[in-house]
Amino acid sequence: MYEVLAQMAGLIACGIFWRIKKPMGLAADDVRIRLTSLVYNLLLPALVLLVLWRAPLNLDVLKIATVAAAGVLTGLLLGGIIYRWMKVPGTIAGAMIIASGFPNATYLGLPVLESTLGEWSRSVAIQYDLFACTPLLLTVGMMVGAAYGEGEKDQHPLRAVLKVPPLWAAIAAIALNTAAVPMPSVIEGWLSMMAGAVIPLMLIALGMGLQWKSFTLASLPIMAPVVVIQLLLTPILVLWLSQQLGLEGELLAAVVLEAAMPCMVLGLVICDRFKLDTPLYASVVTLTTGLSIISLPIWFEILI
């Protein structure tokens, strides 16, 4: 596990290097937006189609979506209670509540699962994200942003969900899978070539998104609840609920590791849109990502 994390840390470090050095005068945020747009709109849908077209579709899919949704909603609820009690400004509270609920299930979870558990686990990461995390981010997450923020509020959340290319790829893949349509070798090769670029580009983009602008000693007490919720409480809940639903073995480990991921980078988009405290959100992503290098191997040892 440590060797795998070290390899991924090297790719993340490439993104951090870009943020610091700005090669060819290109700012990291500008490059990151273009990289993530490429991955999100083209390469990730290719990976989703490749994986879910051939993945076993059974009751486990519903179980994964159920525990993922329970983890996200519980994190949001705990964050809402804690930050209401702390009486912080709304822009800070909204950012930290979103950070408390949504794990980095694809951008970090996918490479971690594939590298540690094998290629089969890619479908778990995709299902955990696309059938729970992303739809909830673009509905409940946007509602939180609208409630605590000051930005744009006019678009209905369901419209945002319908604009997610990987989700449409998942629907198409499930339809093809259910209909038992064989995957032509030419299509498989084409999708595999695009899918192969997803993990390195996601990790480099993750490094470009890590920031320390609001990372001060005074901000640590504000970020501490997010760390505890994301890296400890949510995976404990998901572990218990997964066991109640009958998940076991490596599948159980994959689901809990997804729940133990650091904060979702995509939450930055919600913070920007609703004028929440984006620098603080970026700082807590950085903090939880750094701490996950310690926490994820611990969870792996517990589960495997």
Residues 32, 37: Cα–Cα separation, whole Å: 8
| For residues 64-88, average pLDDT | 96
Question: What's the confidence (pLDDT) of residue 185?
Answer: 92
| For residues 127-133, average pLDDT | 91
Q: Say if residue 147's pLDDT is above 80.
A: yes
Q: Is the dihedral of CA 165, 107, 211, 149 positive or negative?
A: positive
Model pLDDT for residues 160-195, shown as the tens digit of each residue: 666 778 888 889 999 999 998 999 999 999 999 998
Q: Say if residue 106's pLDDT is above 80.
A: yes
Question: What's the confidence (pLDDT) of residue 128?
Answer: 95
Task: Report pTM.
Answer: 0.86
The token pair that represents 293 in the structure block: 């290098």
Model pLDDT for residues 259-287, shown as the tens digit of each residue: 999 999 888 778 888 889 888 988 898 89
Question: What's the confidence (pLDDT) of residue 155?
Answer: 59
Q: Say if residue 248's pLDDT is above 90.
A: yes
- For residue 103, the SS3 value is strand
Q: How far lies 222's CA from each of 43, 66, 73, 213, 218, in Å?
A: 36, 29, 20, 15, 8
| Most confident range, picked from 36-45, 64-73, 152-161 | 64-73
- Which residues is 103 bridged to in the sheet? 263
Torsion of CA 7, 8, 12, 14, to 10 degrees: 30
Higher per-residue confidence, 294 vs 203:
294
Please report which confidence band the pLDDT of residue 153 belongs to, taking 50, 70 and 90 as the band edges: low
Residues 89, 255: Cα–Cα separation, whole Å: 34
| For residues 231-259, average pLDDT | 96
Question: What's the confidence (pLDDT) of residue 196?
Answer: 87
> Of the candidates 92, 219, 87, 77, which has an alpha carbon nearest to the alpha carbon of residue 149?
92
Q: Domain map of the chain by residue range? A: 2-20+27-303
Residues 208, 259: Cα–Cα separation, whole Å: 23
Residues 14, 19: Cα–Cα separation, whole Å: 9
Question: What's the confidence (pLDDT) of residue 229?
Answer: 97
Percentage of the chain with pLDDT > 90?
49
> Which of these ranges, 88-97, 103-112, 246-255, has the smallest mean pLDDT?
103-112
- Which residues is 263 bridged to in the sheet? 103
Residues 270, 160: Cα–Cα separation, whole Å: 11
CA 61 to chain centre: 18
Please report which confidence band the pLDDT of residue 40 belongs to, taking 50, 70 and 90 as the band edges: confident
Question: What's the confidence (pLDDT) of residue 233?
Answer: 97
Q: Say if residue 245's pLDDT is above 70.
A: yes
Residues 199, 282: Cα–Cα separation, whole Å: 21
Q: Using alpha carbons only, give the angle 90, 94, 100 rounded to the nearest 5 degrees.
A: 140
Q: Say if residue 201's pLDDT is above 80.
A: yes
| DSSP letter (8 states) at residue 248 | -
Q: Say if residue 102's pLDDT is above 60.
A: yes
Q: How far lies 276's CA from each of 194, 228, 237, 253, in Å?
A: 34, 21, 28, 34
Residues 281, 275: Cα–Cα separation, whole Å: 11
- The domain 2-20+27-303: what is its CATH number? 1.20.1530.20
| For residues 133-137, average pLDDT | 89
